């Protein structure tokens, strides 16, 4: 990529391990001429549209209160556990959609960043930003490993998103099911690997030096939505993303995966790093309204022939233990990832050129 080309990657403003690591991985691959643009969640979006219509003034106060609580909580969490975010090369962080539309960042190429940037339940009032509607007509628009967070969009959202996507020069998504769905809408899309897979394990071991020293064998449990419990005799270390007191730094989170005897999780990026670090693992499925997020597990586990690691919620503890103890042909897995990694790199560089 020519140094005179300035690329701008638009990301979700989400404070978690996977969101940071996929953003960092993509920026590291693209190089110094790539800048990160993020958008803070508007304070009005902290209550639903129905509530705002019924009692506008009251719900504005509710929304503002929720926004301030989240802001200060996230500030403390970021300061204590996510200092590595300073490693990202931010060009701008907008505080509102209006500000982004009125004063757009100038770049040659815009990339709709990875992760669940096209999940309607996460981007609600900010969808025109994450579909690059603020971009000047002469610039190139690309999506890299974007995730829909579901098999297909609700019809109302689909009708809005379709004309926006027709303005993209190249589209890649993270899940195989999204490729089929977008093809059914008349769009050309491919499945590329998550940005974290663009780099191998040693890249992360060198970039993030751990402060943890665990001499005993332990089971690492990282959970976001699913209530994962394991009553084995082994020592267990649990990081529960909803319990802020249990959080660790990004360095420590990676080390807990890398040094564990085995890992239990419901996190996509935790699964990715288990595979990169050659760790035994098992995955708990998301349920209810988050069920569509299981598509990301289907893609990564399907490609690496590890589908049996996705639990069906009927397994006993002994059955789970048997699954995580099943040997994995890591040489074969690495070969598959290398092929997917090279394809994805070539696709992205070709899209940029």
- The answer to whether 146 and 119 have CB atoms below 8 angstroms apart is no
Whether 328 has a pLDDT exceeding 80, the answer reads yes
With tokens 């959202």, the residue in question is 157
| Fold that domain 205-333 belongs to in CATH | Rossmann fold (3.40.50)
- Using left for φ > 0, alpha for ψ between -120 and 50, and beta otherwise, residue 31 falls in left
**SS3 assignment, position 310:** strand
Q: Indicate whether 1 pLDDT > 60.
A: no
> What percentage of residues in the chain have a pLDDT greater than 90?
54
pLDDT band at 55 (very low <50, low <70, confident <90, very high): very low
7-198+339-352 is a CATH 1.20.1630 domain: no
* pLDDT value at residue 2: 41
- Percentage with pLDDT > 70 across the chain: 83
pLDDT tens track for 26-40: 999 998 788 888 876
pLDDT tens, residue by residue, 87-144: 888 877 777 778 888 888 889 999 998 888 999 988 877 788 899 998 888 899 999 9
What does the alpha-carbon distance between residue 231 and residue 219 come to, in Å, rounded to a whole number? 10
Chain region(s) in the chain for CATH 3.40.50: 7-198+339-352, 205-333
> What is the value of pTM for the model shown?
0.87
Indicate the burial class of 203 (C-beta count within 10 angstroms; 0-12, 13-18, 19 or more). middle
CA angle 232, 18, 156 (to 5 degrees): 115
């Amino acid at each position: 990529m020519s140094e005179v080309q300035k690329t701008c990657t638009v990301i979700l403003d989400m404070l978690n391990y996977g969101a940071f690591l996929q953003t960092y991985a993509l920026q590291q691959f693209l190089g110094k001429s790539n800048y990160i643009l993020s958008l803070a969640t508007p304070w009005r979006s902290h209550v639903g549209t129905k509530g705002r219509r019924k009692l506008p003034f009251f719900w504005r106060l509710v929304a503002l209160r929720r926004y301030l609580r989240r802001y200060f909580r996230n500030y403390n969490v970021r300061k204590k556990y996510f200092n590595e975010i300073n490693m990202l090369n931010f060009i701008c962080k907008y505080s509102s959609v209006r500000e982004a539309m009125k004063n757009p960042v100038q770049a040659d190429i815009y990339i709709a960043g990875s992760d669940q940037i096209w999940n309607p339940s996460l981007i609600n009032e900010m969808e025109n930003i994450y579909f690059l509607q603020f971009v000047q007509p002469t610039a190139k628009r690309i999506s890299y490993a974007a995730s829909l967070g579901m098999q297909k969009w609700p019809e109302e959202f689909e009708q809005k998103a379709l004309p926006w996507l027709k303005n993209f020069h190249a589209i890649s998504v993270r899940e195989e099911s999204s490729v089929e769905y977008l093809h059914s809408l008349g769009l050309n899309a491919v499945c590329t690997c998550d940005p974290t897979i663009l780099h191998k394990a040693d890249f992360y071991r060198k970039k993030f030096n751990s402060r943890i020293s665990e001499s005993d064998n332990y089971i690492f449990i990282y959970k976001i939505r699913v209530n994962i419990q394991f009553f084995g005799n082994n020592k267990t270390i649990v990081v529960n993303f909803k319990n802020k007191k249990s959080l660790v730094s990004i360095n420590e989170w990676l080390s807990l995966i890398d040094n564990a005897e085995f890992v239990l999780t419901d996190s996509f990026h935790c699964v990715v790093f288990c595979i990169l670090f050659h760790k035994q693992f098992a995955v708990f499925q998301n349920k209810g309204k988050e069920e569509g997020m299981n598509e990301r597990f289907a893609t990564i586990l399907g490609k690496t022939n590890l589908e049996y690691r996705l639990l069906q919620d009927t397994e006993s503890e002994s059955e789970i233990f048997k699954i995580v103890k099943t040997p994995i042909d890591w040489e074969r897995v690495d070969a598959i990832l290398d092929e997917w990694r090279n394809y994805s790199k070539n696709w992205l560089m070709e899209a940029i050129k």
